[in-house]
């Protein structure tokens, strides 16, 4: 049809032999149906050696009033051969998708999207997801989002704006650490967030291995919480009975984060373990108020020769005005006097200060000692080769030091005494 007022419509039936995208030529594309400026109602059929796609239905783009009602089937989709990703080894993906919803983003979506029979094969691993359904109902202040699947199940109820939830949380945290938020976050418009959530996560071993994810859930985990950005109140809890981070194994994980009164509290407990029965018990407590974060870390193991630490520190954030340009952040970390037991031997961590500003880390009088044995650090770490960190040792096991400084090139054993000038740690 001839365009009227900038709009056009018509009917199409086309066979496209070749279409190039990202250096790959797609073959055998059939497009059939009715179209207009912002929509299409018909069939898309791609029969390519590296992926077959059949989609049929309505695709109408009208902003928040957009409508989608279609079914599709994807078979033997090989994104590496299509130059879309090289993250996985010989991936082969197949699935069915049914969609019937209105809206153009997660915040105004109403309806459902169902993913069926998702098969994700790679050369080393494979996973199969029977079904994943996302359903959203309600409007504005009373919305309900449910997720149903083999792995993740949950619901979010209330007024939520996922697109602005991060800036919304940053705005809430600004009441406790304003200097940190002012310098690191750009001001963004936020919508109302007043919701509660409940999520359960089943075993993810197969999915995590196939997709090379850093986190693996072994036993069912649960996350609950609520957030109200009008009153700036929140509470989140996570129960993680058994999980892996990379190759490290953990159990009895419990996390809470809330702000019931005048400060933000975060508590984390977990036990790190290995196949030989070793247990490392970890306990972290953090609170934030008046631009200051106080941290307590407790750590102990069940070895015959005891390793134990009770460390505490406070971190102060300071905004520094500049004559020209934006405000800069200065961070001052005060390490408190703490005991440290290494291999049944009691060490003493003396009070010290670490300052971070202008891309430099300044360490003042950091000292760990055990009678005649000690480690002392003083100086500056930065990209400037003129900045030096002075490391003074007396009868200290070297392997501990290089592990702490993360210098894999230097790996010596034995006890060391002497003074080292260290530069270019960045």
pLDDT tens, 196-235?
999 999 999 999 998 889 999 999 999 999 999 999 999 9
Is pLDDT at 401 greater than 80 in this prediction?
A: no
- The answer for residues whose C-beta is within 8 angstroms of residue 332's C-beta and 6 or more apart is 315, 316, 318, 353, 354, 355, 356
Return the percentage of the chain with pLDDT > 70, whole number: 93
Mean model confidence pLDDT for the chain: 88
Is pLDDT at 6 greater than 80 in this prediction?
A: no
Q: What average pLDDT score do residues 227-253 get?
A: 94
Query: Is the model more confident about 352 or about 418?
Result: 352
Is pLDDT at 349 greater than 80 in this prediction?
A: yes
> Residue by residue, what is the 3-state secondary structure of 117-173?
EEEEECCCCEEEEEEEEEEEEEECCEEEEEEEECCEEEEEEEECCHHHHHHHHHHHH
Return the percentage of the chain with pLDDT > 90, whole number: 55
How crowded is residue 322: how many other Cβ atoms within 10 Å of its Cβ? 8
Is pLDDT at 8 greater than 50 in this prediction?
A: yes
**Residue 406: predicted pLDDT:** 42
H-helix or E-strand spanning residue 398:
helix 398-405
To which residue do tokens 């029969």 refer?
47
**Residue 400: predicted pLDDT:** 57
- Size of the chain, expressed as the number of residues it contains: 426
**Residue 412: predicted pLDDT:** 55
**Residue 405: predicted pLDDT:** 46
pLDDT tens by residue, 172-198: 999 999 999 988 888 888 889 999 999
**Residue 3: predicted pLDDT:** 53
Query: Is the model more confident about 240 or about 187?
Result: 240
Domain residues of the chain, as ranges?
138-302, 303-425
Tell me which range, 239-248, 305-314, 400-409, 413-422, is most confidently predicted by mean pLDDT: 239-248
CA-wise closest residue to 67 among 19, 121, 103? 103
Tokens encoding 12: 């199409």
Direct distance between the N- and C-terminal alpha carbons of the chain, in angstroms, rounded to an integer: 63
**Residue 226: predicted pLDDT:** 97
**Residue 4: predicted pLDDT:** 54
Is pLDDT at 117 greater than 50 in this prediction?
A: yes
**Residue 323: predicted pLDDT:** 81
Q: What average pLDDT score do residues 417-422 get?
A: 80
What is the model's pTM? 0.83
CA-wise closest residue to 134 among 111, 161, 159, 117? 111
């Amino acid at each position: 049809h001839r365009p009227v007022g900038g709009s056009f419509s018509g009917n199409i039936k086309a066979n496209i032999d070749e279409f190039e995208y990202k250096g790959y030529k797609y073959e055998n594309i059939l497009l059939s149906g009715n179209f207009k400026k912002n929509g299409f109602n018909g069939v898309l059929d791609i029969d390519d050696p590296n992926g077959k796609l059949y989609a049929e239905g309505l695709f109408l783009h009208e902003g928040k009033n957009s409508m989608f009602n279609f079914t599709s089937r994807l078979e033997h989709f090989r994104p590496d051969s299509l130059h879309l990703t090289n993250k996985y080894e010989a991936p082969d993906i197949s699935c069915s998708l049914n969609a019937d919803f209105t809206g153009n983003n997660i915040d105004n979506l109403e309806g459902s999207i169902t993913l069926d029979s998702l098969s994700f094969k790679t050369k080393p691993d494979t996973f199969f997801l029977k079904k994943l359904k996302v359903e959203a109902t309600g409007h504005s202040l009373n919305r309900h989002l449910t997720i149903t699947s083999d792995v993740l199940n949950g619901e979010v109820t209330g007024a939520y704006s996922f697109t602005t939830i991060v800036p919304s949380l940053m705005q809430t945290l600004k009441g406790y650490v304003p200097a940190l938020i002012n310098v690191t976050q750009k001001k963004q418009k936020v919508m109302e967030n007043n919701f509660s959530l409940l999520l359960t996560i089943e075993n993810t071993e197969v999915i995590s291995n196939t997709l090379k994810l850093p986190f693996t859930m072994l036993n069912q985990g649960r996350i609950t919480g609520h957030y109200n950005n009008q009153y700036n109140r929140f509470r989140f809890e996570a129960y993680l009975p058994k999980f892996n981070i990379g190759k490290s194994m953990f159990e009895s994980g419990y996390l809470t984060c809330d702000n019931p009164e005048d400060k933000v509290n975060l508590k984390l407990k977990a036990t790190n373990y290995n196949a030989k029965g070793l247990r490392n018990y970890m306990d972290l407590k953090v609170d934030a108020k008046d631009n200051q974060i106080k941290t307590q870390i407790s750590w102990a193991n069940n070895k015959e020769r005891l390793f134990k630490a009770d460390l505490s520190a406070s971190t102060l954030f300071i905004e520094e005005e500049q004559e020209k340009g934006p405000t800069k952040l200065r961070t001052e970390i005060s390490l408190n006097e703490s005991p440290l037991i290494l291999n049944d031997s009691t060490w003493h961590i003396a009070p010290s200060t670490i300052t971070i500003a202008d891309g430099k880390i300044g360490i003042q009088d950091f000292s760990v000692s055990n009678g005649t044995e000690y480690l002392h650090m003083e100086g500056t770490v930065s990209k400037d080769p003129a900045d030096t960190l002075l490391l003074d040792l007396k009868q200290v096991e070297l392997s501990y030091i290089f592990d702490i400084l993360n210098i894999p090139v230097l790996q010596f054993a034995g006890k060391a005494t002497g003074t080292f000038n260290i530069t270019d740690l960045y």
